Amino acid sequence: MTLRLRPEPVSSAAPWRARLGMRLAQAAGAGLLALCAACSSTGGGAGATQQIAADPLPAWRDGAVKQSILNFVSKTTTPGSPDFVPPEDRIATFDNDGTLWREDPAVELLFVVYRAQERARAEPALANRSPYKEFLADPSAYFKTTGEAGALRILNELYGNTSVEDFQNDVRRYFASARHPKSNAPLREGTYQPMLELLALLRAHGYQTWLCSGGTTDFMRVISQSYYGIPPQQVIGSRLATLFRENGRENQVWREPKMESFNDKQVKPANIALQIGKRPVFAAGNVGGKGDIAMLSYSQARKGSSFQLLVNHDDMDRELAYGEADNASLRAAAERGWTVVSMKRDWGRVFPAPAAAAASAQAPAQAP
């Protein structure tokens, strides 16, 4: 959902700035800096979805969940079916962290540390200046002691006052070298194979697949196509304020040091309405942080057929087991009839094989 190591319950009544500060404080572990520093280089890959085979969902175990997905896709794309959805309305939205790739820790949080380290290397004096000095010494202590104001200050320092192009080039450099701190595998190998297959299945049947996540838009756009087959223009995320600057014939879009929209909880449907203009027919999120309840509810309230998918992280052996203190997402799923995916029971494979992860997204993306 957002920049955190692990989902934690957060009051929906809290302002988005407070929720952002709390999530960052929860996410930053004392050893995070060392984990990120241990990253080593790896080459880029070509994609992240699978070509449709005889069984379009081979990583999914046979059972009610897999069959319900296949039945829904069939009935909404078969002309003459009472549940047929016209191609122009086939919108599918997916959360990212914890839904399409692992969030233990959140990749973008690792990037925040990486960016702070790179800034300090390029300008050593920063290491002795606030907030870099406190943040680089101990990210966890920094967030705990400075709270919301400190979280926003370091994010504004690291994310603002740069052009969109320069920021995304830095993101590309990060992905070219970073490895997951737990598995030491390239970050691409932390994507979920069953969800990559699901994205490809939907696109093969005329669905537009969109990212709708608490991660920042410009960050996710760098890898959305190569990892998921989702074009950059179909990414909805948190965003900084921007402005257009011109200098003669040169110009750029400048990222202001101010968070404009934190794409979580009730903000997700608002941003979907703003950027897509239609309710999703298919919406997928995950348990943790309660960040996807509103998006799934928004999808379900559309006129006509819809499908809501909630990934439950209940597989400690192959991934991680976590949830919410009040089980809000699972309770909402039970009350409203959403489909809950058990990683442990419903997925025969969690992560893609290394070779497949490096050369898989072959299914063409659908443009809006």
For the segment 217-242, what is each residue's pLDDT rounded down to a tens digit? 999 999 999 999 999 999 999 999 99
Best CA proximity match to 112, nearest among 7, 36, 6:
36
Take residue 155 and report the two structure tokens written for it: 């994010």
Average pLDDT taken over every residue of the chain: 86
Strand partners, 314: 321
Contact (Cβ atoms closer than 8 angstroms) between residue 143 and residue 28: yes
Domain spans of the chain, in order of start? 16-358
Q: Quick one: which H or E segment has residue 323?
A: none
Cis peptide bond N-terminal to 280, omega within 30: no
Confidence of residue 109 (pLDDT cuts 50, 70, 90): confident
pLDDT at position 11 is 40
Best CA proximity match to 130, nearest among 146, 147, 107:
146
Res. 48: pLDDT tops 80: no
Q: How far apart are the C-alpha atoms of 267 and 289, rounded to whole Å? A: 14
Q: How many helices (H) and strands (E) does the chain have?
A: 14, 8
Take residue 347 and report the two structure tokens written for it: 């997925």
pLDDT at position 275 is 98
Res. 347: pLDDT tops 80: yes
pLDDT at position 354 is 83
Model confidence, pTM: 0.84
Take residue 193 and report the two structure tokens written for it: 């194979």
Q: Which of 25-39, 97-111, 286-300 has the highest average model confidence (pLDDT)?
A: 286-300
Take residue 327 and report the two structure tokens written for it: 């089980």
Kindly report the CATH class assigned to 16-358: alpha beta
Contact (Cβ atoms closer than 8 angstroms) between residue 303 and residue 278: no
Take residue 283 and report the two structure tokens written for it: 């919406």
Confidence of residue 368 (pLDDT cuts 50, 70, 90): very low
pLDDT at position 340 is 98
Q: How far apart are the C-alpha atoms of 59 and 69, rounded to whole Å? A: 13
pLDDT at position 311 is 98
With H, G, I as helix, E, B as strand and everything else as coil, classify residue 23: helix
Take residue 72 and report the two structure tokens written for it: 């829904």
Best CA proximity match to 298, nearest among 78, 91, 72:
91
For the segment 200-218, what is each residue's pLDDT rounded down to a tens digit? 999 999 999 999 999 999 9
109 φ/ψ sector (left φ>0, alpha ψ -120 to 50, else beta) = alpha
For the segment 273-305, what is each residue's pLDDT rounded down to a tens digit? 999 999 999 999 999 989 999 999 999 999 999
Res. 34: pLDDT tops 80: no
Contact (Cβ atoms closer than 8 angstroms) between residue 131 and residue 150: yes
Percent of the chain predicted with pLDDT > 90? 71
Confidence of residue 19 (pLDDT cuts 50, 70, 90): low
Res. 96: pLDDT tops 80: yes
Q: How far apart are the C-alpha atoms of 215 and 217, rounded to whole Å? A: 6
More confident residue, 58 or 39: 58
Contact (Cβ atoms closer than 8 angstroms) between residue 61 and residue 348: yes
